[in-house]
């Protein structure tokens, strides 16, 4: 990874009610819509100050403290979706990251951001709110098919973070488990039981993914 890895933008947003997307629909409540944060923001073990999730059953918590997404995916999405003004945070990410993507980032990677230390816990699973936000029902599936999912971070050491800060790789305990390969296993592109068992045994993978993979093995 010769290119510097850095946070180009930080976004937060608390759950709030949004108008119906269509006339026959009800309003929807979500923390998906996030806005850039100027200056330093406190990162705790569970989230960034000012951030929140509407459905805590599937979002948030220590293994999903920070939703991260590669900045390098944006030019492609702008062209493919005919949304030339698609801005940072369009995929509800907290960190928009330059210099790292699913072909490079690995489950268990530990990065320092000044005094803060974070670790990749799992790939991001695109939810229906991605589709609802952009009125594109096929978008979550396209994110998975094209391996442009992003990933989650857990926080090992709290502190302040700020847009422009560099991420420095401190440890890579599982170089075999790039985010793209983990996606292959979770989403059925690699159906071999030994692959499923190996990913389920990865100690730095999130508890939710490990449990889901173990259930698949029976």
Annotated domain spans of the chain:
6-173
pLDDT in tens, 201-212: 999 999 999 999
> Cα separation of 94 and 152, whole Å?
10
* Cβ-based neighbours of 89, under 8 Å, separated by 6 or more: 9, 11, 34, 35, 36, 96
Q: What is the pLDDT of residue 138?
A: 95
Q: What is the pLDDT of residue 14?
A: 86
pTM of the shown model: 0.92
Q: What is the pLDDT of residue 24?
A: 63
Residue-wise DSSP of 1-13? --SPPEEEEEEE-
Q: What is the pLDDT of residue 132?
A: 87
Q: What is the pLDDT of residue 2?
A: 46
Strand order across the 95-98 sheet: 35-36, 6-12, 95-98, 66-70, 151-157, 116-123, 110-113, 168-171
Tokens (6 digits) for 105? 């980032």
Q: What is the pLDDT of residue 58?
A: 53
Tokens (6 digits) for 73? 């995916």
Q: Is residue 218 a contact partner of residue 184, using CB atoms and an 8 Å limit?
A: no
Q: What is the pLDDT of residue 69?
A: 98
Angle at which helix 179-186 crosses helix 207-217, to 10 degrees, equals 40
Residues in the chain predicted with pLDDT less than 70, given as ranges, are 1-2, 18-26, 28, 53-60
pLDDT in tens, 128-172: 889 888 989 999 999 999 999 999 999 999 999 999 999 999 999
Strand, coil or helix: 69: strand
Q: What fold does the segment set 6-173 form as a domain?
A: M1 Pyruvate Kinase; Domain 3 (2.40.33)
């Amino acid at each position: 990874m010769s290119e510097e890895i850095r946070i180009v933008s930080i976004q937060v947003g608390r759950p709030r009610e949004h108008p119906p997307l269509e006339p026959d629909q009800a309003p929807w409540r979500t923390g998906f819509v996030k806005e850039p944060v100027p200056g330093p923001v406190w990162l705790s073990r569970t989230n960034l100050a000012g951030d929140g999730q509407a459905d805590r059953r599937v979002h948030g918590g220590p293994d999903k403290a920070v939703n991260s997404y590669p900045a390098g995916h944006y030019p492609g999405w702008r062209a493919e979706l005919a949304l030339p003004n698609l801005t940072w945070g369009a995929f509800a990410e907290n960190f928009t990251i330059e210099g790292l993507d699913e072909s490079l980032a690995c489950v268990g990677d530990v990065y320092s951001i000044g005094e803060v230390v974070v670790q990749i816990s799992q790939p991001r699973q695109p939810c229906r709110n991605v589709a609802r936000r952009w009125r594109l029902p096929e978008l979550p599936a396209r994110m998975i098919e094209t391996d442009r999912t992003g990933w989650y971070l857990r926080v090992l050491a709290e502190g302040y973070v700020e847009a422009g800060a560099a991420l420095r790789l401190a440890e890579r305990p599982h170089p075999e488990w790039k985010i793209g390969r983990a996606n292959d296993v979770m989403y059925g592109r690699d159906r071999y039981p030994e692959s499923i068992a190996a990913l389920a045994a990865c100690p730095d993978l999130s508890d939710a993914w490990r449990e889901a993979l173990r259930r698949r093995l029976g």
